[in-house]
Amino acid sequence: MSGERLVWFRVAARIGGTVGEVKQRISSSEFTDWQVFFQKELEVDKREHYYLAQIAMEIKRSYAKNPNAVHLAGSLIKFTVPGGKTAKPPTMEESKKHWMSIVKLPPQ
């Protein structure tokens, strides 16, 4: 599972409800905001990332010839979105087409 379908499941899990219920509850612009939110969330280092990096750094220091040369920044792992792509919000036309199909209206 990937793409937009995966985002629907993530939104449903986050706010509670089934995918069908969530599709009826939120607007297309809110869904687009969720897509951007999830993308940005992947790019942000969280407190627990730094905590675990500090543990890794201290372990690395215990084996290093020059422990003072080991720094926290070198222990943080940078992740990229699968495929190295950044998520882009759908175009207005793509969004409109999607929502028209949900409410079972013919495309205009």
Name the average pLDDT for the chain.
78
CA distance 85 to 32: 17
Where are the domains positioned within the chain?
A: 3-102
Residue 88 has pLDDT above 60, yes or no: no
- So what's the pLDDT on residue 49? 74
CA distance 97 to 44: 32
pLDDT digits 0-9 by tens, 12-42: 999 999 999 999 999 988 998 998 888 887 7
